[in-house]
């Protein structure tokens, strides 16, 4: 009996030791995620403030300098494009395709190529280029760039981990960073998690659920502590909906899903035609696009410029929800002109604002009430974003969290599902997938493959 008691005692001590070691290892593995999340939240808040200031500058220039903006805006566009082309070519555009490409390159054989997509230099150029373009009136958003910035932060923190530290998957680190970036940019924690699962990963979430949950929470709480518990779009009235409101939702989803995909096809076509442009030709194109954009803003509507957040707020919270027939065209043309120049800037917010204008137009055609009109505006936002990203659940959850209107969750999910289906009629692949393939093709042809000495399977 004494022998058995001794064995039990030794086994108990062994189990406690193993448990303590496991706890210590888990804490050590979690620490880099928490540090990166805190930094991401701080940068996201600073970037948000700077971007809002840049858009305010563009409106100030438009109202006080007007035609002088035809000279000022091209100058800003030229600088925004040049610093990208010169110092960090992969900081151009949204940033989401770059993150997706980096996940495919996160292997011991190709990981060195990720530094072209995610780095401190990319962060600096991304922020500077997008701010210059926003001051020039570009119809771009900060949300996609925030995702690339956050993934770069997480990758850099992962690089700084000592060799003695428990190994952390590079891929999971980048993926978690992207989710934290989206959560901080929109103040939508669920949207960040769904985005990581739906858009970024083909790995079962159980392998990194604690890391992604905690990182999204920390990044979101950091942003909230500095900006307050804000909603991206506030609380639109969607009460007393008509029993047949689902019909309007389906119509809005069909229209926006198709047109969102068509807009991306146009952008891809222009970018394809520009591949053989010289530096001088690219500079001329950027200047010409900015002049067209500013001319439209001066002659037609100032809402041609900017990310479109003000457009969405005006339609959702003003008594007059009517949108001019040309507004959807302007909100499509703006991102096409801006994105194809090669400056840094995303399509998330512009896509949402374009969908909102289509929802407003369709509601007017159907003679709907103000609350039903709000529903179609939200459905149009979900549909258009789905047409661009092909992530219906992310789109629905994002709009849901941005407005806190849980009573229309099924309407928004329906809009996302329908838009996802009809967008396949235009293109089988998403805009981000096409851009990702271009980045991968360029990197794999321009940068020779290098093996990382002594690769650890955990880092793949």
CATH number, domain with residue 140: 1.10.3080.10
Asked, for residue 186, whether it belongs to a domain, the answer is yes
> Could you give the CA distance from residue 155 to residue 180 in angstroms, rounded to a whole number?
13
> Could you give the CA distance from residue 347 to residue 220 in angstroms, rounded to a whole number?
21
- Same domain for 274 and 399, yes or no, is yes
Contact 46, 153 (CB under 8 A): no
Asked, for residue 204, whether it belongs to a domain, the answer is yes
pLDDT of res. 13: 55
Neighbours of 166 (CB within 10 A): 15
Asked, for residue 394, whether it belongs to a domain, the answer is yes
Cβ burial 145-154 (10 Å sphere, 16+ → b, else e): bbbbbbbbbb
- Per-residue pLDDT band at 317 (split at 50, 70, 90): confident
> pTM for the complete prediction?
0.85
The per-residue pLDDT for range 135-159, each reduced to its tens digit, is: 999 999 888 899 999 999 999 988 8
- Same domain for 218 and 277, yes or no, is no
Query: What sign results for the dihedral spanned by CA atoms 203, 206, 207, 210?
Result: positive
Asked, for residue 459, whether it belongs to a domain, the answer is no
> Could you give the CA distance from residue 195 to residue 179 in angstroms, rounded to a whole number?
7
Asked, for residue 249, whether it belongs to a domain, the answer is yes
**Mean pLDDT for the stretch of residues 63-83:** 90
Q: Which domain range does residue 191 map to? A: 33-227
Asked, for residue 12, whether it belongs to a domain, the answer is no
Picking from 227, 259, 276, the residue at the C-terminal end of a domain is 227
Query: What is the number of structural domains in the chain?
Result: 2
- Same domain for 172 and 279, yes or no, is no
Q: Which of 171, 170, 167, 154 is nearest to 219 (CA)?
A: 154
Residue 53 tokens, joined: 């200031």
Asked, for residue 378, whether it belongs to a domain, the answer is yes
- Same domain for 212 and 337, yes or no, is no
- Same domain for 279 and 172, yes or no, is no
Contact 388, 264 (CB under 8 A): yes
- Same domain for 319 and 360, yes or no, is yes
pLDDT of res. 456: 37
- Per-residue pLDDT band at 281 (split at 50, 70, 90): very high
- Same domain for 137 and 259, yes or no, is no
The per-residue pLDDT for range 340-397, each reduced to its tens digit, is: 999 999 888 899 999 999 999 999 999 899 999 999 999 999 999 999 998 888 899 8
- Same domain for 176 and 45, yes or no, is yes
pLDDT of res. 149: 94
- Same domain for 102 and 129, yes or no, is yes
> Could you give the CA distance from residue 24 to residue 152 in angstroms, rounded to a whole number?
27
- Same domain for 278 and 165, yes or no, is no
- Same domain for 289 and 392, yes or no, is yes
Asked, for residue 21, whether it belongs to a domain, the answer is no
Total H helices, total E strands in the chain: 17, 0
- Same domain for 78 and 200, yes or no, is yes
């Amino acid at each position: 009996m004494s022998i058995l008691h001794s064995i039990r005692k030794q086994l108990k001590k062994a189990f406690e030791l193993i448990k303590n070691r496991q706890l210590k290892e888990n804490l050590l593995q979690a620490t880099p995620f928490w540090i990166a999340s805190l930094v991401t939240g701080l940068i996201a808040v600073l970037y948000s403030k700077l971007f809002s200031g840049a858009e305010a500058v563009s409106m100030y220039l438009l109202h006080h300098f007007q035609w002088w903006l035809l000279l000022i805006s091209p100058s800003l566009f030229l600088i925004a494009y040049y610093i990208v082309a010169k110092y960090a070519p992969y900081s151009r555009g949204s940033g989401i395709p770059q993150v997706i490409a980096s996940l495919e390159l996160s292997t011991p054989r190709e990981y060195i190529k990720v530094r072209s997509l995610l780095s401190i230099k990319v962060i600096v150029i991304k922020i500077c280029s997008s701010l210059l373009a926003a001051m020039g009136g570009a119809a771009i958003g900060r949300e996609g760039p925030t995702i690339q910035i956050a993934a770069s932060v997480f990758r850099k923190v992962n690089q700084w981990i000592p060799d003695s530290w428990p190994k952390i998957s590079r891929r999971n680190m980048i993926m978690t960073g992207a989710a934290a970036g989206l959560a901080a940019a929109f103040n939508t924690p669920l949207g960040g998690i769904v985005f990581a699962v739906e858009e970024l990963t083909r790995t079962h979430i159980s392998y990194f659920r604690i890391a992604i949950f905690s990182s999204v929470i920390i990044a979101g709480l950091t942003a909230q502590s500095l900006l307050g518990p804000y909603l991206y779009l506030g609380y639109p009235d969607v009460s007393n909906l008509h029993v047949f409101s689902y019909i309007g939702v389906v119509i809005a989803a069909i229209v926006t899903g198709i047109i969102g995909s068509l807009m991306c096809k146009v952008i891809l076509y222009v970018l394809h035609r520009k591949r053989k442009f010289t530096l001088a030709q690219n500079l001329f194109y950027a200047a010409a696009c900015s002049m067209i954009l500013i001319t439209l803003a001066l002659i037609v509507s100032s809402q041609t410029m900017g990310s479109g957040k003000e457009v969405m707020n005006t339609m959702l919270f003003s008594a007059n929800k009517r949108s001019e027939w040309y507004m959807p065209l302007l909100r499509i043309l703006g991102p096409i002109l801006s994105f194809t120049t090669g400056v840094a800037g995303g399509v998330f917010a512009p896509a949402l604002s374009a969908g909102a204008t289509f929802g407003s137009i369709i509601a007017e055609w159907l003679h709907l009430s103000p609350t039903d009109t709000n529903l179609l505006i939200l459905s149009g936002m979900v549909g258009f974003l789905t047409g661009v990203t092909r992530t219906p659940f992310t789109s629905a959850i994002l709009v849901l969290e941005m407005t806190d209107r849980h009573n229309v969750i099924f309407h928004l999910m329906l809009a996302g599902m329908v838009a996802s289906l009809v967008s396949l009629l235009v293109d089988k692949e998403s805009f981000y997938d096409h851009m990702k393939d271009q980045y991968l093709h360029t990197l794999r042809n321009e940068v020779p493959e290098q093996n990382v000495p002594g690769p650890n399977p955990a880092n793949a």
